[in-house]
Amino acid sequence: MSPKALDYDSLNENVKKCQYAVRGELYLRASELQKEGKKIIFTNVGNPHALGQKPLTFPRQVIALCQSPFLLDDPNVELMFPADAIERAKHYLAMTSGGLGAYSDSRGLPGIRKEIAEFIERRDGYPSDPELIFLTDGASKGVMQILNVIIRGQNDGILVPVPQYPLYSATISLLGGSLVPYYLDESANWGLDMNNLRDAVQQAAFRGVTVRAMVIINPGNPTGQCLSIANLKEIVQFCIRENIVLMADEVYQQNIYQDERPFISARKVLFDMGPQMSKQLQLVSFHTVSKGYWGECGQRGGYYEMTNIPPETVDEIYKVASISLSPNVPAQIFVSHRTFSGLMVNPPKPGDISYLKFEQESKGILESLRKRARMMTDGFNSCRNVVCNFTEGAMYSFPQIRLPPKAIEAAKKAGKHPDVFYCLKLLEATGISTVPGSGFGQKEGVFHLRTTILPAEEDMLAIMSSFKKFNEEFMAQYEDHQGYSRLCT
């Protein structure tokens, strides 16, 4: 009998080709160990609440009231909810037609799209059109929608930074397109070398692949770098010259841990070039409620904003969005929230209790992340075979691990990538669940791991010293000290 459609042999090959390291072998092993009772520190994915970050109070109060609108009629409501949360909940409920239980328009609620446009205008200093903002169930879904519209087949190439966030490689595989890598320069703090970029496009053309879009991740995942204005300008000019769409993944725009390079959006850089230039780039930028100081990953809220995308194309994207009816409505409230209270341009009036608490909570989270970024970088750099750039932004540390030849051999014997081998041993020894660098792409013979900077501040020193102890033992086992290997003396 011929295989059935859902037998492995007859599945869509593009599905099989996808790789998704963040939830790959390491994650699966970590889940197993957890089931067996081992304490696992899940630093494989940027999931702040899973590592103990508390939700901000105000938005959760608002969403609770929106979910239970009958509470608004309860005479006791003011005992449990501050007046501004009550008011805000009414504001959002009035935007819906039927509350959180009704499908919204497939692009999201008009009122929320308008608030996002206002947020973008405040941020960049240029007006934004709500009609060009689409809400999504997290930024991932938005990226997938846009790539789906762009990619027609294997001759369509997408420039993706290496190391990259695997959402991109996996989605490009799934859609049958071609990933065109460009390498970030570790020795220049993961900056972007324009020569690399040009080479990448030429080499792709040589293979018959036309580059149609370029992805930048700013601040970077897994690298943690913040792109400089100069770099951003070059990128924009390059995309205009090469006639390619720029996809700006700016989900970490509120996660910045240094003051020299604040976040600047690709859109602002474009518009700063003047009215002539600014019409020439097709740009889509992505944002989410999963990151920032919110970290509301489980809510699945995000949006993208399109710049210079023709209306007929917007209609096509709208149609595709319609197939799955509507992004989840509760998360839409969060998206708007962030843009509303998330910036300090539109603060509630003085004396407003929620505002103070919100400020305290959000600043507290960001300040603590900044400290943790520093502790982690320092911890890694204190190991003799580890070098690590400082986490300027985002939520990750991406140290390079220098592995001795014997370790590489042992990995080969075990049938594993050397970095997977290292990370598995780390996991078994310490419970620290990281992602091997090969999941993000890396240069031949160079090994990294990625970890989030999210473990609680008070646990950080212990985690780093547990890492260091493991690393020492690993090196002791595999390092060959020209005759005086530690193991044998």
Ligand X SMILES: Cc1ncc(COP(=O)(O)O)c(C=O)c1O
Q: Which residues form the interface with ligand X (CB under 6 A)?
A: 46, 138-140, 165, 167, 217, 221, 249, 251, 288, 290, 297, 302, 325
Smallest separation, CB 194 to its own copies (Å): 20
Please choose which of its own copies, ligand X, none residue 20 contacts, taking the beta carbon within 5 to 8 angstroms, the exact cut-off set by kind. its own copies
Q: Nearer to its own copies by C-beta: 292 or 393? A: 292
Q: Nearer to ligand X by C-beta: 290 or 397? A: 290
- Contact predicate 237/276, CB 8 Å: no
User: 4-30 in b/e burial notation, b at 16+ Cβ within 10 A?
Assistant: eeeeeeeeeeeeeeeeebbebbbbebb
- Contact predicate 123/265, CB 8 Å: yes
Smallest separation, CB 373 to ligand X (Å): 15
Smallest separation, CB 62 to ligand X (Å): 20
Q: Nearer to its own copies by C-beta: 278 or 290? A: 290
Q: Nearer to its own copies by C-beta: 150 or 408? A: 150
- Contact predicate 159/178, CB 8 Å: no
- Contact predicate 369/256, CB 8 Å: no
- Contact predicate 136/142, CB 8 Å: yes
Smallest separation, CB 453 to its own copies (Å): 16
- Antiparallel, parallel or unpaired: β 435-436 and 302-307: unpaired
Phi, psi of 108, deg, nearest 5: 110, 170
Q: Nearer to its own copies by C-beta: 14 or 477? A: 14
Q: Nearer to ligand X by C-beta: 58 or 165? A: 165
The continuous run of DSSP H or E covering 58 comes out as: helix 57-67
Smallest separation, CB 216 to ligand X (Å): 10
Please choose which of its own copies, ligand X, none residue 55 contacts, taking the beta carbon within 5 to 8 angstroms, the exact cut-off set by kind. its own copies
Phi, psi of 158, deg, nearest 5: -125, 120
- Amino acid identity, position 463: I
Please choose which of its own copies, ligand X, none residue 454 contacts, taking the beta carbon within 5 to 8 angstroms, the exact cut-off set by kind. none
Q: Nearer to its own copies by C-beta: 235 or 329? A: 329
> Which tokens belong to 467?
């890492």
Please choose which of ligand X, its own copies, none residue 264 contacts, taking the beta carbon within 5 to 8 angstroms, the exact cut-off set by kind. none
> Which tokens belong to 69?
């609108």
- Antiparallel, parallel or unpaired: β 302-307 and 283-288: antiparallel
Q: Nearer to ligand X by C-beta: 145 or 290? A: 290
Smallest separation, CB 334 to its own copies (Å): 9
Please choose which of ligand X, its own copies, none residue 50 contacts, taking the beta carbon within 5 to 8 angstroms, the exact cut-off set by kind. its own copies
Residue 128 DSSP label: -
Please choose which of ligand X, its own copies, none residue 150 contacts, taking the beta carbon within 5 to 8 angstroms, the exact cut-off set by kind. its own copies
Smallest separation, CB 358 to ligand X (Å): 21
Smallest separation, CB 112 to ligand X (Å): 16
Smallest separation, CB 251 to ligand X (Å): 5
Phi, psi of 159, deg, nearest 5: -75, 125
Compute the half-sphere exposure of residue 10: CA atoms within 13 Å on the CB side of its CA. Answer: 7
C-alpha dihedral, 11 to 176 to 394 to 134, nearest 10°: -100
> Which tokens belong to 82?
């501050």
Q: Nearer to its own copies by C-beta: 149 or 446? A: 149
Please choose which of its own copies, ligand X, none residue 65 contacts, taking the beta carbon within 5 to 8 angstroms, the exact cut-off set by kind. its own copies
Provide DSSP, 201-220.
HHHHHHTTPEEEEEEEESS-
Question: Crossing angle for the helix pair 110-124 and 329-341, nearest 10 degrees?
Answer: 30
* Unique residue bearing structure tokens 């007046």: 83
Please choose which of ligand X, its own copies, none residue 360 contacts, taking the beta carbon within 5 to 8 angstroms, the exact cut-off set by kind. none
Please choose which of its own copies, ligand X, none residue 411 contacts, taking the beta carbon within 5 to 8 angstroms, the exact cut-off set by kind. none
